[in-house]
Amino acid sequence: MPKIKYFFQQSWLLIISSFCFGLLIAITNAAWSPRIVQNKIDKLNRLMGGLLPKAHNFQLQTELEIESAKGKKVKSTIYKALSDAGECVGLAFNTSGPGFADRIELVVAVDDNFQNFAGYAVLASNETPGFGDQIKLPYYRNQFIAAPAAKLELVKTGNAEKIDPEIVAITGATVSSEAVLEIINNSITQIKDQMLKKGLISNDK
Amino acid sequence: MLTDLRVSCAPHISKPLSTRSVMIDVIIGLVPAVVAAGYYFRIYALILTSTCVISAVVTEWLCNKILKKPNSLDDFSAVVTGIILALSLPPSLPIWAAIIGSVFSIAIGKMVFGGLGSNIFNPAMAGRAFLTACFGMLMTSWTVPATIDTTMPKISAENTIHARTQATPLAWSKQAIKTKTGAEVVNEQFKDTFTGEVGGCLGETSAVALLLGGLYLLIRQTIAWRIPLAVLASAFVFSAIGYLTDNTAYASPLTHLTSGGMLLCAFFIATDPVTAPLTGRGMWIFGIGVGAITMLIRIVGEYPEGIMYAVLLMNAVTPLIDRLCKRIPAGGKPSA
Amino acid sequence: MILADIFQLWNSSWPAGMTMLALGTGFAIVLLIASEKLKVKIDPKIEQIHQALPKVDCGACGFAGCGSYAKAVAEKPALIGKCAPGGPETAGKIAEILSLHISDSGPARKPMVHCRAQTDDKTYFATYQGIRTCIAANALANVQACKFGCLGFSDCVSACKFNALHVIDGLAVVDYEKCTGCGACSKACPRNLIEMVPFSQENMMTVACRSYENGKTTRSMCKVGCIGCGLCAKQTEIFAVEDNLARLDYDKYQLTGQTKTAFDKCPTGVIVLCGPTAPAPRQPSRKPASATA
Amino acid sequence: MTNEPQATSVLYKQTLIAGLWRENPVFRLLLGMCPTLAVTAAVKPALTMGLSVIFVLFCSNIVVSLMRNLLKPHLRILMFTLTISTFVTIADLFLKAFQPRMSEILGPYVPLIIVNCIIICRAEACASKNPLLTSIIDAIGMGIGFTLTLCVLAGIREILSTGAVWEIPILPAAFVPWTAMRMPVGAFLTLGLLLGLVNAITKRKA
Amino acid sequence: MGNPASNILSMKIATKGIFTFAGGTHPPQSKELTAESEIQRGPAVKQAAVMLSQHLGAACQPLLRKGNMVQAGQKIGDSDAFVSAPVHSPISGKVKDIALQSHTVLGRSPAIIIEAYEHNPTKRPVADKFTEEFDENKYSAEQICDAVRQAGIVGMGGAGFPTRVKIEPNPQFPKETMIINGCECEPYITCDYRIMLEWTNQIMAGIKLARKASGCSQVLIGIEDNKPEAIEVMSTVIEKSPNRDGIKVVPVKTKYPQGGERQLIQAILNKNVPTGGIPPMIGIVVLNVATAAAIAEAVVDNTPLTHRVVTVTGEAIDEPGNYYVPIGTSVEELIEFCGGVTQKSAKVIVGGPMMGIAIADLTTPITKTTGAITVLTKEQIGKAKFERQQTPCIRCGRCLEVCPEHLNPTKIAHAVKNNLLDVAESYYISGCMECGCCSYVCPANIELTGYIRTGKIFLARQKKKIPE
Amino acid sequence: MDTLNILLTGFISIVIINNLVFTKFLGICPYLGVSGRIDMAFGMGMAVTFVVTLSGTLTWLIDHLILLGTPLEVTRYVCFILVIAGAVQLVEMYLRKFFPSLYESFGIFLPLITTNCAILGLCLFINLWGIDNLIEAVVLSFGAGIGFTMAICIMAGIRESLNLADVPECLKGAPITLITAGLLTLAFMGFAGMIR
Ligand SMILES: Cc1cc2nc3c(=O)[nH]c(=O)nc-3n(C[C@H](O)[C@H](O)[C@H](O)COP(=O)(O)O)c2cc1C
Ligand SMILES: Cc1cc2nc3c(=O)[nH]c(=O)nc-3n(C[C@H](O)[C@H](O)[C@H](O)COP(=O)(O)O)c2cc1C
Ligand SMILES: Cc1cc2nc3c(=O)[nH]c(=O)nc-3n(C[C@H](O)[C@H](O)[C@H](O)COP(=O)(O)O)c2cc1C
Ligand SMILES: Cc1cc2nc3c(=O)[nH]c(=O)nc-3n(C[C@H](O)[C@H](O)[C@H](O)CO)c2cc1C
Ligand code: SF4
Ligand code: SF4
Ligand code: SF4
Ligand code: SF4
Ligand code: FES
């Protein structure tokens, strides 16, 4: 009995304040969490909207698990882009894979029947500034726009302007260039397959 | 009877050697490499070299002034640093970048640690590493020697980017490792790497010039023979392992030894006494470490060349090596 | 309406509150029990120091946290002042705690340099080219003629943590304003020139010489050395000459008329007054003392 | 610290200024080095970080100062940790809600404020011993000191690594950016040299 | 190397040394200045200052007072301590004073100053009063030890350890091997060389006496191979003398510091004296050739140690040579006797240039351990050393390479310089014998040996725990 | 084999390539403070390794078993720090009581570690990297500790030899340590891209 009394003598303040702090956090969270969720959505919208300018609205379609080139499981969320008129103008999904220094996370957009790419955006990467982080620059990214959504190929020289499956590597950063390609190539086929299986897209078009 | 006597501790005589004479020896040893650089890369090589030397010397002078230290230019170590830095730069580097490199070498690589003898990292390599981190693109573009029309891809205006980055034999061998073919092409370049008619840093292309200078230093006993031997031997062994497993993907050991900065490193960089271990056993470990890390980076890593990082990494562990290889007195450790 | 809002807020936040409550209570119980059950005895002094420290465990002192610094500093008071977050305040507290245990009786001891020869007063046979420390110079024979005098290479200066010693023109001089009487200098001097003397008065007199050479030799080596003439001993018994050197009995020291006379009569001026308010030592009278003749 | 009434205002001023220079948490006390290095690649995140630290410091100093007479020795540190982590969580939520970009850049360095030694140190050394007002002033002084230091460091790194400050180009376009300054090397070197400079200045003053 | 000792016994005399130690260096020999100079009579001194402390161990107490008369060879100072040796007067005369005199090691130390009579006969070096047939068995071991102590013999190779203590049987460390040190590795000095050439029989006699006293079974005479004549002469004498079993000359490589006892033992026996230990611990006694000669004289003639051979040399000396000098002669007088100095001298060194001590006060008297006076000019010292130009250590490792004790001189010296004595100790500062090799080779011209010496003194002071 | 490969590369990566100190700036305070002597540095490194492994595992468990996906997620930071602090303090008391010699050699570092951001930082990064497998979390935490040990030991070696160097007065201590750390990160860039 005296032990319990001693315990409360020592720790009443702690107990009370931990409860209060808990409430404080929870209340703050309750107040701000809508905004936080909204921010996340906004960001995705912004990124995907940049890739699919025609899209007005994005709709969560499904979540898939794909296997990266190194055998790691990666989760991918697929969104459907809807135009003003509500028709599907493309699909966008996030994916990731190993880059030069760390993992590279991308958002990739394709047109609605996996015919052509609509481009990609970098969600997160840790490539060397000046080298690999040029994958964020438009001159490299633009090569993907409207490229056919099949196996892309990396070349050292070529015409970057031309729309074809040949992607010209960033000077001095072949590894990062290749990594982007690998991630995209790898995920596009798997996602396409899985979605076909699920019947979310049809093969006929 | 006698006037003006001096007293001091024994011994009262000393060998006719000085820090300056040691450094001048190194400079003499570097002359063939500088001459070769001048031959292959023409006047711009000499301009780069003198820029590096002058800015290194001026930086040292300034640092001494700022830190209120006695002038230390007469030991010529800044000149050595300048030359070695220059020899490790690509021939097309702009002058301003070379200046930044030498200033970094001397100021951050050397003077902040207390000047000659106190620095932990090889100043020239620290400067080069900084340049690489800052201006990676400039530091990885190569021009081919002015003397030749080489079998390697040519440099021309329209055929720019990738050709330049592949102009060194090591870039070729890196490619060979990736594609698992083509190492023979690299090995065929052996004669060129020996004379120096290949792309690469100013001072690393001509193996024969480097060997000449290295031999001079060995004969003069300016450098400890253990380090060059250990570096070359371990690099040889590790590259031979690769070569024996797959000679289409991995270049031959001799190519590895003669190309890139390997010889420059073995004779002039890894041997920098200030940043290498003191004891004989330590030198072996250091040399083997440099050779092994270089080959690790060349074969497994992403960069075609690994000398600079290998030297810096081993510099970092030099104090630990020195501690590990503490000498045991002739009479054994004292019992008490 | 508001009520409903509050109710909803409460609804969504009580789990967090309860978790924190549980966590807090849990840890409080565990820590309290542990601190009871796993108590170890430690030196109360260390404990005291530990209490005085900020207990941030930041490692800025170079030790593994406040606990180990407290232990180290208790053993080695020279480490006082390493705690950056605590600053001078904490350093002062630690010093206080530690000094409780250094019992001291009698007047504070302060250093006194037993040499007063500056460069011009000394005789040199040769130019010293060796290592510029007193201990190295002292190991070589006859770096300066007088084997007993101050070498002026500042070993004591570097030993003093309080910047209270300076070599001025080849002679170590104590700055009594700054001196804490720690005695480090006295241990550093290879010629044992610095003696820790009980300062029974603000300023003390001393015979600033340690030379046991006979008067003639001393004269030949040093303009201001003690020649053992005995004039001071004739004035008052607190001076005594032994082995060609006058000494002062510090325990008996009193500034009386006789001491003043002894002070004034000393032909070489080797008797000096030291202390925070002592005047500069007088110049030696150049003419030989009549009494010795 | 004295309690004489007429000295208090002077004291407050001193406390405020102490954090800026004499007891600058980064330069003099060498505390909170991790965020100092990690978030100073550019000025914007550095300022955000600094403001977050000010907020946490401010709130936790208030709470600790209010509770200072109720603290029990065994559970004191636990209490501090609890307080600090609560406010850090709030700061983190705030950034996520209103500064999503900064929140992303700062990443886990915001929650790491919990273990930032500055805050525990101030709680321990100042707030748990002083009345409310002194603690608040101390928090503000220290926080501003920390923030300013971060900004100076970030300014140097940003201008060298991009030629811009606050993302506004300053240097001519011909300037080739020193990318190394954006990397860890730049962080360590700049802070090291800056510390050396501060040491040199204080030496000269003393 | 197998068992080197037995190899030696079965080896025909070779004058090329294969035996050596690891490390060491090759300073210029410069022995040609005096190598051909026979031992000559020294100055007839008017005054001799006999230091009361000329050896390791307790200093002597004076046995007479100011004004007393003394005879040449009379004992004038002694001590009751075990590790000590009496001192004797080299001349007949009057005690002028007992006062402090400059001492090479101790700075100022008490000495008995004797003023010579007008008609003082000076002792002259005798060619070789001993014959090959000398038979040590006439003397018992105790007799020998006693005579050695009474004659005040101390090691004449440099350290001055009382020889009686060394050769006397010690139950704790039974002795097996005696090494006679005739290396004389120090540049310039030739006194031991001349003694070996001129007093060969006397040395042999001393060796046999010392062997008898110590009970060693084996005697190895180590001589550097730059002295082939000495090797010849010594070997011939051994072959001719009776009881020569186990006595052998071992030519060793010419390398500094081959004459250091630890190096000599390592070279010819391939054994290492423990760090911080002394040779007796592994059953070895090392004696200098001059010490051996002194033993013979002391035992047979009852002559105390009052004179010794001193090499006066250096380019600054007019008539360099080897002189038989009364102990107590001042350096100044001796230099004057050799014709004074020719060029502008820069340094007067008691001993050789590698280990000798530069003195400032030329009234310093010769002691039993003074083997040489070397007067160097500025040119010989070298500009860098003379002007004390130092650069920072470039960690070239040369000092490690030459250190015969396999230490890390630069680490130790730097630790001492930065007052990190515990670091210095962890690098075995106590193992340094101050041979000077490291300082000699250092391109940065750092006084490594000086710092190490300083560190040792520092440590000794620290350990002594000065009372507060 | 595959998982083993992933674990191994993950381990090497966090020790050498993504070293906490050099690339993530975690644990800089002890890195500056306790790197004066090698024995201390090694003790500190070992203690960090122990604590980081322990807390990496614990927090991963708490995160995945309790917090993730519940409204309690907001209290994550509080939970983490309390778990770390509590666990460390308990271990410290336990060691001090029952294994005094072990405590002397590495337990003394424990309290210092609680306020070290390497620990909390790693727990957060593990979460950030989306490690969803306990073994991987353990291996990564352990690797992070080893990486820290390596970094601090190298630094201690360098600082011990800098003790004998003639570093300018104003750069002594933390400044030169930071500069050295900067050059070290340059050197470690050599391993970049080696493992992906
Ligand atoms: C400091 C430095 C950083 C580098 N960072 C990257 C990078 O982030 N991504 C990349 O692909 N290559 C990077 N590289 C280039 C690689 O080392 C390598 O040269 C290149 O990827 C090989 O491809 P290449 O065919 O373009 O030369 C970097 C090189 C250096 C020197
Ligand atoms: C403290 C000390 C004790 C010694 N004790 C003995 C001893 O007991 N027996 C002995 O034969 N020699 C003894 N020696 C003499 C040494 O073995 C050595 O011969 C002497 O120090 C001279 O050596 P050096 O001229 O090479 O310096 C001792 C020397 C010293 C310094
Ligand atoms: C570096 C060094 C060199 C020495 N060189 C000689 C030498 O050449 N000849 C010699 O007799 N003793 C030399 N000694 C002294 C010997 O070590 C040893 O003390 C001496 O031979 C012992 O004999 P002693 O007691 O009869 O003097 C040298 C000592 C040292 C430390
Ligand atoms: C054999 C030898 C090799 C040297 N190599 C280098 C080098 O690679 N880089 C450099 O900056 N300095 C070098 N130096 C010069 C000097 O040691 C260097 O500047 C010091 O590191 C500065 O403290 C060398 C000196 C010698 C004697
Ligand atoms: S060392 Fe101590 S006693 Fe000596 S002067 Fe300095 S403070 Fe005074
Ligand atoms: S008092 Fe002693 S330690 Fe100080 S300078 Fe004089 S001799 Fe040196
Ligand atoms: S003086 Fe000492 S450290 Fe130097 S070489 Fe000789 S034994 Fe070695
Ligand atoms: S010989 Fe001189 S420069 Fe070379 S390592 Fe030794 S001390 Fe340094
Ligand atoms: S702020 Fe990271 S360990 Fe202190």
Does residue A130 carry a pLDDT above 90?
no
Residue of B24, B80, B87 best suited for mutating to test ligand 4, as the one with most atoms within 8 Å of CB: B80
Angstroms from A173 CA to nearest CA on chain B: 9
Minimum mean pLDDT range among C163-167, E10-14, E22-26, E228-232? E10-14
A14 close contact with D: CB closer than 8 A: yes
The CATH number of domain C109-274, selected from 3.40.50.12280, 3.30.460.20, 3.40.50.300, 3.30.70.20: 3.30.70.20
| Interface contact flag, A25 F75, Cβ < 8 Å | yes
pLDDT of residue C88: 67
Does residue E204 carry a pLDDT above 60?
yes
The ipTM, to two decimals, is 0.88
Asked whether residue F114 is assigned to any structural domain, the reply reads yes
Token pair 């073995």 is found at: B266
Q: Best-predicted range by mean pLDDT among B34-38, C53-57, E125-129?
A: B34-38
Q: Is the CB of E157 under 6 A from ligand 2?
A: yes
Closest CA to B272 of B307, B304, B236, B235: B307
Phi, psi for residue D47 in degrees, rounded to 5: -65, -45
pLDDT in tens, A132-156: 888 888 888 888 888 887 778 888 7
pLDDT of residue B289: 97
Q: Is the CB of B135 under 6 A from ligand 1?
A: no
pLDDT of residue E375: 93
What HEC string does chain B produce?
A: CCCCEEECCCCCCCCCCCHHHHHHHHHHHHHHHHHHHHHHHHHHHHHHHHHHHHHHHHHHHHHHHHCCCCCCHHHCHHHHHHHHHHHCCCCCCCHHHHHHHHHHHHHCCCHHHCCCCCCCCCHHHHHHHHHHHHCHHHHCCCCCCCCCCCCCCCCCCCCCHHHHHCCCHHHHHHHHHHHCCCHHHHHHCHHHHHHCCCCCCCCCCCHHHHHHHHHHHHHCCCCCCHHHHHHHHHHHHHHHHHHHHCCCCCCCHHHHHHCCCHHHHHHHHCCCHHHCCCCHHHHHHHHHHHHHHHHHHHHCCCCCCCHHHHHHHHHHHHHHHHHHCCCCCCCCCCCC
> Which of B3, B16, B273 comes nearest E397 by C-beta?
B273
pLDDT band at A5 (very low <50, low <70, confident <90, very high): confident
pLDDT in tens, B200-248: 888 888 899 999 999 999 999 999 899 999 999 999 999 999 899 888 8
Does residue C69 carry a pLDDT above 80?
yes
Asked whether residue D116 is assigned to any structural domain, the reply reads yes
Domains of chain E, start order:
40-123+306-380 (3.10.20.600), 126-301 (3.40.50.11540), 388-462 (1.10.1060.10)
Angstroms from B35 CA to nearest CA on chain F: 30
Q: How far is the CA of E96 from the centre of ligand 7 (A)?
A: 42
pLDDT of residue D81: 84
| Interface contact flag, D79 A43, Cβ < 8 Å | no
What HEC string does chain E produce?
A: CCCHHHHHHCCCCCCCCCECCCCCECCCCCHHHCCCCCEEECCCCCEEEEECCCCCCCCCEECCCCCCEECCCCEEEECCCCCCCCEECCCCEEEEEEEEEEECCCEEEEEEEEEECCCCCCCCCCCCCCCCCCCHHHCCHHHHHHHHHHCCCECCCCCCCEHHHHHCCCCCCCCCEEEEECCCCCCCCCHHHHHHHHCHHHHHHHHHHHHHHHCCCEEEEEEECCCHHHHHHHHHHHHHCCCCCCEEEEEECCCECCCCHHHHHHHHHCCCCCCCCCHHHHCEEEEEHHHHHHHHHHHHHCCCCCEEEEEEECCCECCCEEEEEECCCEHHHHHHHCCCECCCEEEEEECCCCCCEEECCCCCECCCCCCEEEEEEHHHHCHHHHCCCCCCCCCCCHHHHHCCCCCCHHHHHHHHHCCCHHHHHHCCHHHCCCCCHHHHHCCCCCCHHHHHHHHHHHHHHHHHCCCC
Mutate to test the interface with C, among D23, D71, D75 (most CBs of C within 10 A): D75
How many domains does chain F contain in total? 1
Percent of chain E having pLDDT more than 90? 67
pLDDT in tens, E137-167: 889 999 999 999 999 999 998 889 999 999 9
Q: Taking residues F44-59, what's their average pLDDT?
A: 89
Distance CA B190, CA D20 (A): 63
pLDDT band at A205 (very low <50, low <70, confident <90, very high): very low
Distance CA E315, CA E32 (A): 11
Distance CA E184, CA E190 (A): 7
Q: Taking residues B71-97, what's their average pLDDT?
A: 93
Q: Which residue of E has its CA nearest to F163?
A: E418
CATH number of C44-97: 1.10.15
CB–CB contacts below 8 A, A to F: 31
pLDDT in tens, A17-71: 888 888 888 888 888 888 888 888 888 888 888 888 888 888 888 888 888 766 6
pLDDT of residue E438: 96
Does residue F149 carry a pLDDT above 90?
yes
Does residue F98 carry a pLDDT above 50?
yes
pLDDT of residue D7: 60
Q: Taking residues F148-175, what's their average pLDDT?
A: 92
pLDDT of residue A195: 85
pLDDT band at E293 (very low <50, low <70, confident <90, very high): very high
> Domain range holding D176?
27-205
pLDDT of residue B153: 42
Q: How far is the CA of E284 from the centre of ligand 9 (A)?
A: 61
pLDDT band at C38 (very low <50, low <70, confident <90, very high): low
Does residue E421 carry a pLDDT above 80?
yes
Angstroms from D8 CA to nearest CA on chain F: 33
Q: Chains A vs E: touching, with 3+ CB pairs under 8 Å?
A: no
Does residue E3 carry a pLDDT above 80?
no
| Interface contact flag, F193 B301, Cβ < 8 Å | yes
pTM metric for this prediction: 0.89
Instruction: Looking at the CA of F26, name the nearest ligand.
Output: 9
pLDDT band at B8 (very low <50, low <70, confident <90, very high): confident
pLDDT in tens, B157-212: 333 333 344 567 787 777 777 777 777 777 777 777 788 777 888 888 889 999 99
Give the CA dihedral E455, E459, E461, E466, nearest 10 degrees. Answer: 140
Angstroms from B328 CA to nearest CA on chain E: 7
How many domains does chain D contain in total? 1
The structural domains of chain C, with segments of one domain joined by +, span 44-97, 109-274
pLDDT in tens, A111-126: 877 888 888 988 888 8
pLDDT of residue E15: 65
Contact residues on chain C for B6, CB-CB shorter than 8 A: 126-129
Asked whether residue D1 is assigned to any structural domain, the reply reads no
Distance CA C23, CA D78 (A): 11
Q: What number of residues does chain A have?
A: 205
pLDDT band at E249 (very low <50, low <70, confident <90, very high): very high
Q: Taking residues E42-49, what's their average pLDDT?
A: 90
Q: Higher model confidence: residue C124 or residue E298?
A: E298
Mutate to test the interface with D, among F67, F123, F176, F179 (most CBs of D within 10 A): F179
Q: Is the CB of A173 under 6 A from ligand 1?
A: yes
pLDDT of residue A1: 60
Asked whether residue F104 is assigned to any structural domain, the reply reads yes
pLDDT in tens, B99-123: 999 999 999 999 999 999 999 999 9
Does residue C87 carry a pLDDT above 80?
no
Closest CA to C223 of C72, C98, C119, C100: C119
Positions in chain D short of pLDDT 50? 1-3
Do C44-97 and C109-274 share a fold?
Answer: no
pLDDT in tens, C199-227: 888 888 889 999 988 888 898 888 889 99
Q: Taking residues C267-287, what's their average pLDDT?
A: 73
Distance CA B31, CA B39 (A): 12
pLDDT of residue C11: 73
Q: Which residue of A has its CA nearest to D178?
A: A130
Contact residues on chain B for C127, CB-CB shorter than 8 A: 4-7
Mean pLDDT of chain A: 83
For residue E257, whether the previous peptide bond is cis, meaning omega lies within 30 degrees of 0, is: yes
For residue B169, whether the previous peptide bond is cis, meaning omega lies within 30 degrees of 0, is: no
Contact partners of F by the rule of 3+ C-beta pairs under 8 A? A, B, C, D, E
| Interface contact flag, E444 B117, Cβ < 8 Å | yes
Q: Taking residues B50-55, what's their average pLDDT?
A: 97
Q: Is the CB of E444 under 6 A from ligand 8?
A: yes
Contact residues on chain A for B136, CB-CB shorter than 8 A: 128, 130-131, 172
pLDDT of residue C102: 46
